[in-house]
Each structure stands twice: as structure tokens, then as C-alpha cells.
């Protein structure tokens, strides 16, 4: 049950030199819930996470974790958090098991406690077979799993996950979602960042959309979808010629066109009469519609609506391997 | 699944206790690196052994070292140069930790952060002890005939370790300041090479041009080499013994607090 806020961020500001990358960010994460911080490349997600996990100092505003100020009580903050950064922070020349044991000791577990947690986590993250191999020989996905396992070794109540599934194949991504869901069931408070709308939608209790250093919308997935206000009608034309004609005829709120897929979509009030009007005007013009679908707005639509540009427009997946060369 | 007799929750301990247990954990980390990555130790040992053989057989005949034989003269120089090169492993290790992100992990933990540096420096001491022993072994095989008694051996070992310790801390500064791992590699190369050659490591300083000779005779590495040489093969020690110790202690006194400061400042 909700019993206060685990993470509170108020008017948070951060500049690198003259570039202001956080321009007053406000966030709260209730105890035992997950907030997804959703935003495109360069939005400031990692910067927020680094400030909250005491790796970076901020220039203005306040940030507290479990009631501890990140600027003045960094040791207290560190003892209640687990951090899985954007790039795996593991020791390349130790084996998976050695990594876990070392971090367990540094998290102040007893030697026996660290050993027991290490075995549990190796099991849970499907790393038993690779446990005695040096991490240098791990694949990107294995590194990520180990990295997450390490941050859980002391069962911290508050967990930061910075793009935990970026660079994973679909199967590993689903496996990671499972792990994250289990963490939530165990009562942890989680701040997760992602560029994937679907991920935020699937996992999080609340979503904060961040763009260019500002939170531009906040709420549950449904609340955000309601902001867009209406259903969307998506029409796929039979030929390019049909598409060209239809592009001139169809009009409506928030119109999007995808010439390659010959798709036009608009917001509709959802009423049958509006639908009819569109279809008959196309029929009168001799345009053949191949398929038609009506769907609830996705978070993609939300993002487009809020920022005027798509969230995944500059799709770019940092290759995990690459960062270790 | 949880075993009832073992606590998997963090335990509280005193600040001093933390310093010791975190340092022990990080020392273990760096020693495990040596074990998991034996190639590094091997290349560290091979270079001085190659130098030893090259100088002994190729140049040795042409170098006049007065009273003592050239191998006897050379061994102290090789040991000190090997220790100096070996200690730059700390710079490389620290730079690698910073560049490859594991430092973020350490800094997000409630730990004594300088333990990271202590781990690297201690591993250097262990590596250098192993490689020095091997170099002395090779020296003995090619004609090195030390005259030291037990006390002199211990003093020689002490000076060599103190020197290694000093260079390791200095190279930790280099690792903390450098922007890339490659920069560390070439910087330690261009710093250590001239410093060890412009010394009495391989040839007596008498034959050097005046300016170079003055430098070579008064720089700290020469003091360390001459102190070691005196202890091992009985050349005159003059002021070299205590000057070597003072230089090393001075370097440690400056670099330990400086590294702690740089480490805390990092990424603020
Ligand atoms: N050390 C730094 N020096 C200068 N600028 C930086 C630094 N770190 C980040 N930035 C800038 O701050 C902005 C926000 O970066 P941040 O890493 O927080 O974004 P992000 O939302 O995590 O993006 P991504 O999805 O690519 O990880 C970017 O414009 C980035 O270029
Ligand atoms: Mg990021």
C-alpha cells in the first residue's frame, strides 16, 4: 500500500558548461511503485539517474531518495539503492561469480551472506553456466544480466534501471521484463528509464515523459493516452496513386502520413458518422482503400502530440559490446 | 529459498572497519586480476629479463664499470627499471576503471572509495615482488654475484618496495588525470624510459656530457639504484641510501592525498 514517496525531485537543474541539460525537473515516485522516465536520446534521463544515485552533483533544486538528500547524505543514499547504469559496470577480468561476491562484500554483506546471494542471483539470472568465466568473454546480454544481478545483491529497496533493455534481442528483453516484474512484486521501488513506449506501458505504474531536460507530461499510461483525446483511424491505400489522391482528400486532427506504407491516420471522435464521411469522400474520388483500422492511441501518439516529434525518431541503439572496445 | 541461518542483509560496522574490509576486498580484486590474466604478469617479467640479457651480453663488454663486474653493476639498474615500469600498471588499471564505467558502480556503493586505489597499488607490490625475484634468479644464472648478508638483502627489498609503492601512487595520479587508456600507455612510456636511462642504471654517469651527468647523478632514480647496488654488491653508498628513502617518502606524502582528492573530484 502506498506509504509515502521514496524518491522526490524538485526543480532539478544541471548544466554541463554552458549547456543546460536539466531545466527544472519535478518527479515523485511512491514507495513500492515503478515510475518510467520516458524520453528520446539526449533528453536527460541518464543525468537524472546519475544525480539520484549520487554519481553527479546538481546545480539547483532538490533530490532526495528514501528521505536522504543526494547532495549531503550520499552515503545513506548509497546504502538503500541499487544502480544498473546505461552501460554495464562490471569487472571484465573477474568471473561473474567473483563480481557478485566482491560487490556483495562492498555492499556490507557478510562473506557467507554474499556467497548465498551470489548463488541465488546466478540461478535467477540464468548465469550458472557462465559463473566461472571471466566477464570479458560474456555477450552483451549476459553482461547486462550480470550488471542487474550485481545491483540487487544487497536487496536494496530502491532500484534505478537506466535503459535496462536497450541492445537486447526480443527474447532477452522479455526475460528482462519478467525479472523486473518480479522485482516489483517483491515490493521494490523502481525508477526505470526507457526510449521504448511499449516498455513503459507494459511495466510502469506511472510514466513521466521527459524531453530536452523537462518533464512534459506525467501520469498513468491511460491518463497520457486520454490527453490525445480520441481514437485513431488508420487507412492503408491500395496503390501509390491512391495514396497520393487520398492525401489531398483526407483531413482531420493530428494527421500523419507514411508514404512508404501508403498509410494515412487521423484522430477521430470515434463516431460512426465521421468514419462514414471519410470513407465516402474517398469512394467518390475513386480511391481504393486496402485496409482500415481503428485503434486506441498509443504512447507514440502521445509523444507526437506532446512534442511534435516522434519519440523513437532518431532510433539509435547503443551497442553494448561497442562500449567495451 | 533463503537459508535461515545466513543473513543476506547488510551488516553495520565502524568507519575504520569499513576502510580495512573494503581495502581487503579491493586488494583481493586486483590479485584475482593477476591470476585471471597471467599474460600481463608474463609481459611485465619478460621485458626486464630481455634487457638484462641484452645489456649483459651485447653492451656489457664495452662498458667499463671500474671495480665490479658489469652483471653485478647492471642488476640493481634492471631491478629498479623493472619496478618503475611495473608500477605504471596502476596508471593503466585506474584509467581502465574510470573509462570503462566500473567506477560508477564503486561510487554508487556505500564503500571507502580510495580502496580502489589501494587495491591497484598493492597488486603492484605483489607483482613487482614476483618479477624482481625472477629477475634476480635470471641474474644469478648469467653471473650476478651479490655479496649482501641477510640484513642487506632485507634493506634492499625494503627500498625496492618503497620505490615501487611511490611510483605506483604517482602513476595513480596519471591514471586519474588521463583522458584515455592509450594516453596512459604512451605517457608512462615517455616518462619512465628517459628517466631510467638518464641514470646510473646501465652505465656509470662519468661518461655523460656535463648537463646530463648532473641530472643523472642527482635524480631520485639514481639514488635508489645506487642504494640498491651498494647493498647488493658493496659499491660505496655515500648519501644515496637516505636520499632514496627521502625521495620515496616525499613522493608518497604528496601523491596519496592528491589521488584521494582527484578521486573524489572525479565526475563531480
Ligand atoms: N559529461 C557530459 N558533458 C557534456 N554534456 C553531457 C555530458 N553528459 C551528458 N551530456 C549531455 O546532456 C544531455 C542529456 O544527456 P543524458 O545522457 O542524460 O540523456 P539520455 O536521456 O540518457 O539519452 P540516451 O537515451 O541517449 O541515453 C545530452 O545532450 C548530452 O549530450
Ligand atoms: Mg541515457
CB contact under 8 A, B107 and A92: no
> May I ask the CATH class of domain A231-296?
alpha beta
- Same fold for the pair A2-222 and A231-296: no
Amino acid A324: pLDDT: 37
Task: Closest CB to B100: pick one of A109, A120, A324.
Answer: A324
Q: How confident is the model at residue A270 (pLDDT cuts 50, 70, 90)?
A: low
Task: Kindly state the average pLDDT of the residues B81-85.
Answer: 91
Domain residue extents for chain B: 17-267
Q: Which residues of A touch B36 (CB under 8 A)?
A: 93-95, 134
Task: Kindly state the average pLDDT of the residues B86-110.
Answer: 89
Nearest to B169 by CA among B102, B113, B117: B117
CB contact under 8 A, B36 and A55: no
DSSP A110: -
DSSP A1: -
User: How many Å lie between the centroid of ligand 2 and the Cα of residue A46?
Assistant: 4
3-state secondary structure chain B: CCCCCCCCCCCCCCHHHHHHHHHHHHHHHHHHHHHHCHHHHHHHHHHHHHHHHHHHHHHHHHCCCCCCCHHHHHHHHHHHHHHHHHHCHHHHHHHHHHHCCHHHHHHCCCCCCCHHHHHHHHHHHHHHHHHHHHHHHHHHHCCCCCCCCHHHHHHHHHHHHHHHHHHHHHHHHHHHHCCCHHHHHHHHHHHHHHHHHCCCCCCCHHHCCHHHHHHHHHCHHHHHHHHHHHHHHCCCCCCHHHHHHHHHHHHHHHHHHHHHHHHHHCCC
A and B: number of Cβ contacts within 8 A: 100
Q: Which CATH architecture has domain A2-222?
A: 3-Layer(aba) Sandwich (3.40)
Residue of B nearest to A49 (CA): B108
Taking a C-beta distance cutoff of 8 angstroms, is the pair A243, A232 a contact? no
Task: Kindly state the average pLDDT of the residues B85-101.
Answer: 89
Percent pLDDT > 70 in chain A is: 91
Amino acid B249: pLDDT: 96
Which of B33-42, B153-162, B247-256 is predicted with the least confidence, judged by mean pLDDT?
A: B33-42
Task: Kindly state the average pLDDT of the residues A11-20.
Answer: 93
Q: Say yes or no: B11 contacts chain A, CB-CB below 8 A.
A: yes
With a cut of 70, say whether residue B97 has pLDDT above it. Answer: yes
Q: How confident is the model at residue B67 (pLDDT cuts 50, 70, 90)?
A: confident
> Could you give the ipTM of this predicted complex?
0.86
User: How many Å lie between the centroid of ligand 1 and the Cα of residue A317?
Assistant: 15
Domain residue extents for chain A: 2-222, 231-296
Amino acid at each position: 500500500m502506498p506509504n509515502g514517496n521514496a524518491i522526490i525531485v524538485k526543480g532539478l537543474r544541471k548544466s554541463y558548461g554552458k549547456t543546460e541539460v536539466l531545466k527544472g525537473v519535478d518527479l515523485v515516485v511512491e514507495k513500492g511503485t515503478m515510475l518510467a522516465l520516458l524520453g528520446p536520446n539526449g533528453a536527460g534521463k541518464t543525468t537524472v539517474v546519475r544525480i539520484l544515485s549520487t554519481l553527479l552533483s546538481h546545480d539547483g533544486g532538490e533530490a532526495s531518495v528514501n528521505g536522504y538528500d543526494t547532495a549531503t547524505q550520499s552515503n545513506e543514499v548509497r546504502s538503500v539503492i541499487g544502480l544498473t547504469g546505461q552501460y554495464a559496470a562490471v569487472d571484465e577480468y573477474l568471473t561473474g561469480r567473483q563480481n557478485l561476491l566482491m560487490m556483495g562484500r562492498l555492499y556490507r554483506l557478510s562473506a557467507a551472506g554474499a556467497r548465498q546471494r551470489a548463488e541465488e542471483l546466478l540461478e535467477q539470472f540464468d548465469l550458472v553456466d557462465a559463473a566461472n568465466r571471466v566477464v570479458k568473454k560474456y555477450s552483451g546480454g549476459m553482461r547486462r544480466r550480470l550488471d542487474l544481478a550485481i545491483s540487487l545483491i544487497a536487496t536494496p529497496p530502491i532500484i534505478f534501471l537506466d535503459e535496462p533493455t536497450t541492445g537486447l534481442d526480443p527474447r532477452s528483453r522479455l526475460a528482462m521484463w519478467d525479472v523486473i516484474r518480479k522485482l516489483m512484486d517483491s515490493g521494490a521501488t523502481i525508477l526505470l528509464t526507457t526510449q521504448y513506449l511499449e516498455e513503459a506501458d507494459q511495466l510502469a505504474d506511472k510514466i513521466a515523459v521527459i524531453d530536452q531536460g523537462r518533464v512534459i507530461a506525467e501520469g498513468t499510461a491511460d491518463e497520457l493516452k486520454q490527453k490525445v483525446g480520441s481514437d485513431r483511424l488508420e487507412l492503408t491505400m491500395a496503390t501509390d496513386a491512391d495514396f497520393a489522391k487520398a492525401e489531398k482528400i483526407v483531413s482531420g486532427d493530428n494527421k500523419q502520413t507514411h508514404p512508404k506504407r501508403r498509410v494515412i491516420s487521423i484522430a477521430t471522435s470515434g463516431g460512426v458518422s465521421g468514419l462514414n464521411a471519410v470513407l465516402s469522400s474517398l469512394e467518390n474520388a475513386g480511391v481504393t482503400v486496402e485496409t482500415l483500422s481503428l485503434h486506441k492511441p498509443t504512447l507514440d501518439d502521445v509523444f507526437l502530440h506532446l512534442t511534435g516529434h516522434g519519440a523513437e525518431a532518431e532510433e539509435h541503439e547503443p551497442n553494448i559490446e561497442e562500449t567495451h572496445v | 529459498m533463503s537459508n535461515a541461518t545466513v543473513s543476506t542483509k547488510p551488516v553495520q560496522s565502524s568507519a575504520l572497519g569499513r576502510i580495512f574490509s573494503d581495502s581487503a576486498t579491493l586488494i583481493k580484486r586486483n590479485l584475482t586480476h593477476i591470476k585471471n590474466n597471467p599474460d600481463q604478469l608474463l609481459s611485465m617479467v619478460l621485458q626486464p629479463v630481455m634487457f638484462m640479457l641484452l645489456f649483459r651480453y651485447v653492451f656489457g663488454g664495452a662498458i667499463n664499470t671500474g671495480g665490479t663486474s658489469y652483471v653485478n653493476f647492471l642488476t640493481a639498474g634492471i631491478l629498479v627499471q623493472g619496478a618503475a615500469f611495473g608500477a605504471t600498471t596502476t596508471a593503466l588499471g585506474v584509467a581502465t576503471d574510470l573509462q570503462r564505467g566500473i567506477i560508477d558502480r564503486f561510487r554508487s556503493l556505500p564503500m571507502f572509495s580510495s580502496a580502489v586505489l589501494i587495491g591497484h597499488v598493492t597488486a603492484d607490490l605483489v607483482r613487482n615482488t614476483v618479477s624482481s625475484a625472477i629477475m634476480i634468479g635470471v641474474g644469478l644464472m648469467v653471473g650476478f654475484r651479490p655479496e649482501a648478508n641477510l640484513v642487506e638483502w632485507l634493506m634492499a627489498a625494503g627500498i625496492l618496495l618503497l620505490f615501487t609503492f611511490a611510483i605506483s601512487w604517482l602513476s595513480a595520479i596519471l591514471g586519474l588525470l588521463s583522458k584515455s587508456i592509450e594516453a596512459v600507455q604512451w605517457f608512462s612510456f615517455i616518462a619512465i624510459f628517459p628517466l631510467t636511462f638518464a641514470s646510473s642504471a646501465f652505465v656509470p654517469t662519468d661518461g655523460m656530457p656535463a648537463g646530463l651527468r648532473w641530472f643523472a647523478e642527482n635524480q631520485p632514480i639514481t639514488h635508489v639504484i645506487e642504494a640498491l647496488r651498494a647493498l647488493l654488491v658493496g659499491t660505496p653508498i655515500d648519501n644515496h641510501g637516505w636520499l632514496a628513502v627521502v625521495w620515496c617518502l616525499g613522493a608518497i606524502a604528496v601523491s596519496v592525498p592528491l589521488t584521494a582528492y582527484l578521486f573524489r573530484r572525479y565526475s563531480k
